[in-house]
Amino acid sequence: MTKNKAKTLRIINAEDTWEPVGPTPLPEIPDLRNWSMRLLKSYKPFYAPFCDLCCNCAYGKCDLTAGKKGVCGIDIATHQARWALIQCCIGLSAHAAHARHLVNHLISKHGEGYKIDLGLQVDVEAPIIRTVMGLKPETLGDLRTAIEYVEREYIHLVSSTHTAQEGNNLDFENKSLHAGMLDHVAMEVADIAQIVGYKYPTSVADTPLLNLGWGGIDSTKPVVLLIGHNAAPSIAMIDYLHDNDLEDKIEVCGICCTAHDISRYTKRAKIVGPLSRQLFYIRCGIADVIVADEQCVRADLLEEALKTGAALIATSDKICYGFEDVTDKEIDEIVAMIAEEGKQVLILDPDKAGEVAAKVAPLVSAKRNKGIDFIDETTAVKLAKDCRGCGLCNQACPNLLSIGKAIKEFSEGNTAMLSETFKMCFTCGKCEEQCPRSIPIIKIMQAVATKDTFNMRCGRGPIHDVEIRKVGAPIVLGTIPGIVAFVACSNYPKDEKEIAEMMDEFAKRKYIVVASGCAAMTAGMVKDEEGKTIWEKYPPGFQAGGVLNVGSCVANSHIAGAAIKIANIFAKLPGRANYEVIADYILNRVGACGVAWGAYSQKAFTITTGFTRWGIPVVLGPHAAKYRRLYLSRKEEDDWQVMDGRTGEMTDDYVEPAPEHLVNVIESKERAIVTIAKLCIRRNDTTAGRQIKLNHYIDLYKKYMGGLPDDLHLFIRRTADIPMFFKSEVMEYLKEVGWKEREQVGIPTLITTYPSKANIDDIK
């Protein structure tokens, strides 16, 4: 099937000549396949099956162990790749459906001609949409065009996962990469739509500091707890409270990304914490009304709400919970159903849901026995004393914690172990489920959970064009050693403070540190000796040593967007529908690295996959091994040759493995820190830049691993690259391993090393 070129050009408004249209407008699955395959040649898929069987169809189930094939002919590698694509499709659909809903809702409010204006500091408003699609979105209607493109591609991706369709693991991976790329388009649509539609902060770096922590919730007031990722109903409620002078009378707080987004809308909103503590917060009984929108909301929310007497309002077609759809009923009738009859309801009109939540909160609050769910230490100890030490709770723990021992010690008056355990706990409740004595372990943890409050920086949205102009050169030359982005969920392998420690390590070394989503929240839950969180210690700009919060999950698009802008604004590469040229530039010249230290969701997997197609490597925490697919190189064996874009010749010498992996799971925080520093090295680094990067790599390696890195010789091109401080030691090492000087590549590129329509002249 061939593309209808005229239609494509019409969709992207090709007559609008802001830039010439590049080779891949509205790319379909085959269009960037060669770029994917080139990446996968250096970074081969690594599979770690969870299950040895394929249970996909009624032919089987089929045992695929160690070389066996399914009835359909599929092998284990291809089946894992298909599974990865299914995960990516789930993640993509969550963001795309979210974006579609927001765009439709905001068009219904403002009209499709409503202008996109991201303020004086942002001219390149949608670097992802521009680069992927070739469209420069100017209105909400244009954002709808973007999401329509994503939706069209999506059905082809899902189709290929049907039994007896695709039969090659690399082609499945190309489709996963395509899904990841589309996911970034969808995220960008969603965040731009809500920034312009709700007038979130934009073109401002120094956004306000917010109140973070469950201890900061004023439960003397009626409390509405918002959970999820789609802020539309929550914002409607906030508007209602404002319009009716009720803002001081009702406490509005949130968990997860809705919390980010309401705090971008009003300074009054409070952030309770990350999603991993959802059950803990609910069982504390802080909420009178829970409003669930979409994504990362517990499936048993109704059961939990009933336990505390909270009202629960579902507001999304994604999460209906079996509730009666009361969208068409009158507001007063719905309020009566909830407040008087104790019913839980589904309201699909965000404005109506918001008003109902605001009206219901005082009524439910007056009826509830508030405070009954809070327990003091004496009560907690008494409950813990019922533990008989059977250890069944330990076996059920997804984070492999010794819950039973901690409870036992706590019952004997030693709080330290339970306190440490809580910091590693997802409060999922699996331990309680197993307990033969029904000990309320999650509730007991209230006694050791800090009720302290913290300051967190409000999400700021896109990186400013002027910031990009300032830091573009030092990033590409390497004198700012890297951009490190801490993203994703909060199922950390160990203490939650590790995320703040990692961010601090890079911020003080003058990397640019970016965060989003639950990672940004968790990072704020640690104070230094002066009582400051990381959000107070460092400047909020996209600058050396800056620590910035872009916002919720969908604001991750601005991180990829910043890398694209470096290519497009600083280096002036033509970006319109020119995906390969931009991604090649990022891969070879922009020292950026993503970190998803806690990553549980399909969305996090898809976001990660999208980053890799842009050429941005990602470090994952240990739990992410359960995603079952990574992209790895073997630094000493693989082919690292690149084209020198300046001479048009392939490099003869061995060229450093930079970046070494595209997606890897790392076992410990210490190793992750060292790996992140290494993954910021790029072939394009100048001598001064490489010296700075190696200085950090060596220093961190010595600090956390001991001695000099055993792959150091691979990253030293000439003696001038060696940091002065370590010169004699490194020279000795290089002599030992038989290192030889090699030429630095002028303009490293993969363009022309594989079949592509990309123009080599664009990279110069």
Partner 1 sequence: MARPYWDVNILTGSKTARIIDNPVQCAGIIKKADRPLYILGPDTLDRNIGERLFLKYCLDLAKAGKLPICATGHVRKKMLELGIHPDSSYDIIEIINHLKDTEWNGVKKEGNHDLIVFSGVRCDLAERGLATLKHFAPHLKTMALCRFSHPNADFALPVIRKDRKWQDYFEILIDNL
699 binds partner 1 (CB under 8 A): no
The secondary structure of 326-384 as a DSSP string is: -TTS-HHHHHHHHHTT---EE---HHHHHHHHHHHHHHHHHHS-TTTT---HHHHHHHH
Determine how many CB atoms are found less than 10 A away from the CB of residue 213: 21
Q: What is the 3-state secondary structure (H, E, C) of 253-278?
A: EEEHHHHHHHHHHCCCCEEEECHHHH
Supply 661's token pair. Answer: 């992996």
61 binds partner 1 (CB under 8 A): yes
Question: How remote is the C-alpha of 458 from its chain's centroid?
Answer: 16
Supply 337's token pair. Answer: 């159903």
The contact pattern for partner 1, residues 200-239, with x = CB under 8 A and - = no contact, is ----------------------------------------
d(C-alpha 579, C-alpha 568), whole Å: 11
Instruction: Provide the pairing of β-strand 649-650 with 512-516.
Output: unpaired
Using alpha carbons, list the distances in angstroms from residue 563 to 131, 176, 309, 589.
12, 21, 47, 10
**Rg from Cα positions in the chain:** 26
Contacts for 109-115 with beta carbons within 8 Å, 24 or more apart? 109/197, 110/140, 110/197, 111/140, 112/139, 112/140, 112/141, 112/144, 113/139, 113/140, 113/141, 114/139, 114/140, 114/141, 114/196, 114/197, 115/139, 115/196
654 binds partner 1 (CB under 8 A): no
Q: Which is nearer to partner 1, 643 or 665 (CB)?
A: 665
452: CB partners within 8 A, 6+ apart: 213, 215, 527
In 3-state terms, what secondary structure has residue 292? Answer: strand
Evaluate the CA torsion angle 321, 322, 327, 333 in order and state its sign: negative
Which residues face 650 on adjacent strands? Answer: 643
The contact pattern for partner 1, residues 468-497, with x = CB under 8 A and - = no contact, is -------------------------x----
Options 33-41, 196-204, 354-362, 620-628: segment touching partner 1 (CB under 8 A): 620-628
Q: Where are the alpha helices (DSSP H) in 655-706?
A: 669-679, 687-704
623 binds partner 1 (CB under 8 A): yes
d(C-alpha 170, C-alpha 189), whole Å: 29
Closest distance of CB 431 from partner 1, Å: 16
The secondary structure of 85-106 as a DSSP string is: HHHHHHHHHHHHHHHHHHHHHH
Options 49-57, 424-432, 547-555, 594-602: segment touching partner 1 (CB under 8 A): 49-57
Q: Which is nearer to partner 1, 64 or 86 (CB)?
A: 64
Closest distance of CB 72 from partner 1, Å: 14
Q: Report DSSP state, residue 288.
A: S
Closest distance of CB 442 from partner 1, Å: 21
Q: Which of residues 69-88 bind partner 1 (CB under 8 A)?
A: 76-77
Q: Which of 248, 529, 530, 637 binds partner 1 (CB under 8 A)?
A: 637
Strand ranges of the sheet holding 592-596, from the earlier edge strand across to the other edge: 44-47, 629-632, 663-665, 618-620, 592-596, 483-486, 512-516, 547-551
Q: Which of 664, 691, 749, 756 binds partner 1 (CB under 8 A)?
A: 664
Q: Which is nearer to partner 1, 199 or 626 (CB)?
A: 626
Inter-residue contact 246 to 268 (CB < 8 Å): no
668 binds partner 1 (CB under 8 A): yes
| Number of residues lying near partner 1 (CB under 8 A) | 44
Q: Which of 66, 530, 572, 740 binds partner 1 (CB under 8 A)?
A: 66
428 binds partner 1 (CB under 8 A): no
Q: Which is nearer to partner 1, 187 or 665 (CB)?
A: 665
430 binds partner 1 (CB under 8 A): no
Closest distance of CB 667 from partner 1, Å: 4
In 3-state terms, what secondary structure has residue 664? Answer: strand
Q: Which is nearer to partner 1, 510 or 628 (CB)?
A: 628
Q: Which is nearer to partner 1, 200 or 492 (CB)?
A: 492
Which residues face 285 on adjacent strands? Answer: none
440 binds partner 1 (CB under 8 A): no
The contact pattern for partner 1, residues 707-726, with x = CB under 8 A and - = no contact, is x--x----------------
Q: Which of 50, 249, 333, 719 binds partner 1 (CB under 8 A)?
A: 50
665 binds partner 1 (CB under 8 A): yes
Closest distance of CB 584 from partner 1, Å: 25
Inter-residue contact 502 to 166 (CB < 8 Å): no
706 binds partner 1 (CB under 8 A): yes
Q: Which of 391, 440, 539, 545 binds partner 1 (CB under 8 A)?
A: 391
Determine how many CB atoms are found less than 10 A away from the CB of residue 299: 8
Q: Which is nearer to partner 1, 75 or 112 (CB)?
A: 75
Supply 164's token pair. Answer: 């007896």
Q: Which is nearer to partner 1, 52 or 117 (CB)?
A: 52
Inter-residue contact 706 to 676 (CB < 8 Å): no
Options 153-161, 273-281, 706-714, 729-737: segment touching partner 1 (CB under 8 A): 706-714
Closest distance of CB 660 from partner 1, Å: 9
Q: Which of residues 493-522 bind partner 1 (CB under 8 A)?
A: 493
Closest distance of CB 669 from partner 1, Å: 8
Q: Which is nearer to partner 1, 63 or 206 (CB)?
A: 63
In 3-state terms, what secondary structure has residue 172? Answer: helix
Q: Which of 5, 10, 16, 63 binds partner 1 (CB under 8 A)?
A: 63
47 binds partner 1 (CB under 8 A): yes
Q: Which of 632, 688, 731, 760 binds partner 1 (CB under 8 A)?
A: 632
Q: Which is nearer to partner 1, 51 or 416 (CB)?
A: 51
Closest of 369, 320, 371, 378 to residue 347, by C-alpha: 320
Options 13-21, 208-216, 359-367, 624-632: segment touching partner 1 (CB under 8 A): 624-632
| Contact footprint for partner 1 (CB under 8 A) | 46-53, 60-67, 76-77, 391, 398, 400, 493, 622-623, 625-626, 628, 630, 632, 634, 637, 664-668, 670-671, 675, 704-707, 710
